Amino acid sequence: MPYRVTFVCTGNICRSPMAESVLRHHADEEGLDVEVDSSGTGNWHVGDPADDRTIAALRRAGYRSAHAARQFEAAWFARYDLILALDEGHARALRSMAPGDEARAKVRLLREFDPSAGTDLDVPDPYYGGRADFDLVLEMVEAAMPGLLDEIRAGLKVA
């Protein structure tokens, strides 16, 4: 059975699809049995592709992106092993819709997996910024990947 991970941000066009693409790339490279997707806490962009600046940042770094935005639904908690929020506001929103303690425990912050993150675990929203803001988000996402992949490998061994 695959390990299932989803990333959640606000509108599902910037941060979470970026994290989805990066994890999918690394999981595929390692041959890990992982299903990866993403969604948003809001419905503003449902059906839209990832932001052009997200796609450009990913391409510059050698990643691919094929994405259609969607909104996270409470019924999906049972589907995932790990639900990764991109900032504390997303984590609070997800925990508030969780159907119980077991579901709430699946919600983590992506930057928890970056040992250099310190106490600021939020990935900033680049939507109102420019290229440098999107590149910074990509750097933060990539910095969390080694720790996240360790977590996934451990989860696959338990299953």
- Enumerate the active-site residues: 9, 15, 125
Judge contact between 13 and 51, C-beta under 8 A.
Answer: yes
List the structure tokens of 85. 């929020």
Q: In angstroms, what CA-CA distances link 68 with 10, 31, 37, 100? A: 14, 24, 10, 29
Judge contact between 50 and 67, C-beta under 8 A.
Answer: yes
- Other Cβ atoms less than 10 A from the Cβ of 76: the count is 17
Amino acid at 96: S
